[in-house]
Amino acid sequence: MERIIGEITGDGEGPLLIFIGGIHGNETTGISALEKVFNEFSFGTTQVKGRAIALRGNLEAIRQNIRYLSMDLNRIWDVKHFKRANDYHAAEVYELLELRRIIEKELKGDFSRAYLIDLHTTSAPTIPFLVTKDTPDNISFVENLDVPYVTGLIGYLDGTMLGWMCEKGHCGMAFESGQHHSRVSIIKHEAFVVLSMFYSGFMPDLSDSLVSELHEILDDELKPKHNHFELIKRYKIDEEEEFKMEAGFSNFQKIIKSEVLAKNKHGDIVSDVNGNIFMPLYQSKGDDGFFIIKPCEVRKPVAAS
C-alpha cells in the first residue's frame, strides 16, 4: 500500500492542498474519495493553479481496518512525541514521522496559502460537518462550504494533526462526511474535496452548475439552522469505567440539562447543560465519550491581511 494516493501540480502560483485519508484506519471512505478524484477527475479540462497531494494516513491500521494499533495517530502530533519518538515502540510512531516528513517537505515549496484537509467519518449517524480552529483564514474558507462547523475542539484534544498545522500558521480542517463505510459518505467526501479545490483557488474555473451540484450533495435536510458551533464540554473516558453511550444519539441533536447521555459502572451520566451532542462514541476504541456544543452568534469573518 502506497502512502501517496495522487499529486497534481498546476501552472503558476496557487495554493498547496494536502489531503489526508485514513489517519484512523477504520475510516476509509476518504481514501476511496481521494482515489477517485485524483485518478478520475478531468483536471486537463480546467485551469489548475498550485499543488495538491493526497496521502493515506495509518497504513497498517488501514490494512487491518481498525482505528489504530497501539496509539491514536491523531493524538501524537506534539513536541513530546516528536522529540522522544525512539522511546515509543509503536507502529504509529513510524507513521507519524513519515507523514510529518512528507508534509514538511511540501511546506517548503512556493504557494499562496497552505491547507491541510483531514477526511474522517464517525461511528454514529451524522450530517456532514467541519472541525477547524477559530482563525480568520480558516473561518473565511469554511464559510464558503456552507456546512456546519465546530470550533474549540483543538483546545480540548492534545496532539492532533490539525492543531499542529494551525500552530504553523496554515489553514487546517477536518471534514466528517457521514458514518463509517457508507457509500453516501464516499460521495460526500468526493464533493467536499472538489469544492475545497475550487474555493482555495486551486481549480478556480469550475462551472457554476457543477459547484451548485456539489453543494447539493453536501446539503442535508437535517442540517441545523446555525452553521457555527463552539465546543463547551468534553466527556473523557477513564480507564475501566465501562463507559457505554445511550443508543440513538446523532451529531448536533439537541439535548437538555439532566438528560441521560451514557452509563458506566457507577450509574447514569447526565448532561449538566442544554446544548447539542457532538460525536457520541459508538465504537470500542476512543477516549472521548461525547462532546457538547452550542451555536455561536452569526458574525462576518474578516480575512487575514
Task: Give strand pairing partners of 89.
Answer: none
User: Which pLDDT does position 239 carry in this prediction?
Assistant: 86
- Integer distance in angstroms from the first to the last C-alpha of the chain? 41
Judge whether 33 lies within some domain.
yes
- In whole angstroms, give the CA distance from residue 274 to residue 214: 34
Q: CATH code at 154?
A: 3.40.630.10
Q: Which three cell numbers stand for residue 1?
A: 500500500
Over residues 202-215, the mean pLDDT reads 94
Dihedral angle over CA of 160, 165, 167, 173, nearest 10: -70
Judge whether 224 lies within some domain.
no
Which position has the grid cell 452553521?
227
Q: 195 and 237: one domain?
A: no
Q: Which is nearest to 237 in space by CA: 201, 284, 176?
A: 284
Q: Which of 218, 251, 277 corresponds to the end of one domain?
A: 218
Q: Which 8-state DSSP code applies to residue 153?
A: G
Domain carrying residue 188: 4-218
Q: pLDDT (tens digit, 9 = 90+) per residue, 97-137?
A: 999 999 999 999 999 999 999 999 988 778 899 999 999 99
Q: Which of 218, 249, 282 corresponds to the end of one domain?
A: 218
Q: 197 and 237: one domain?
A: no
Q: 201 and 291: one domain?
A: no
What's the pTM value of the predicted model, to 2 decimals? Answer: 0.89
Q: Which of 186, 218, 250 corresponds to the end of one domain?
A: 218
Q: CATH code at 282?
A: 2.40.50.100
Q: Which 8-state DSSP code applies to residue 122?
A: E
Model confidence at 305, pLDDT cuts 50, 70, 90, reads very low
Three-state DSSP state, 111: coil
Residue 11 has pLDDT above 70, yes or no: yes
Judge whether 65 lies within some domain.
yes
Judge whether 275 lies within some domain.
yes
Q: 81 and 197: one domain?
A: yes
Q: 176 and 37: one domain?
A: yes
Q: 139 and 107: one domain?
A: yes
Q: 152 and 241: one domain?
A: no
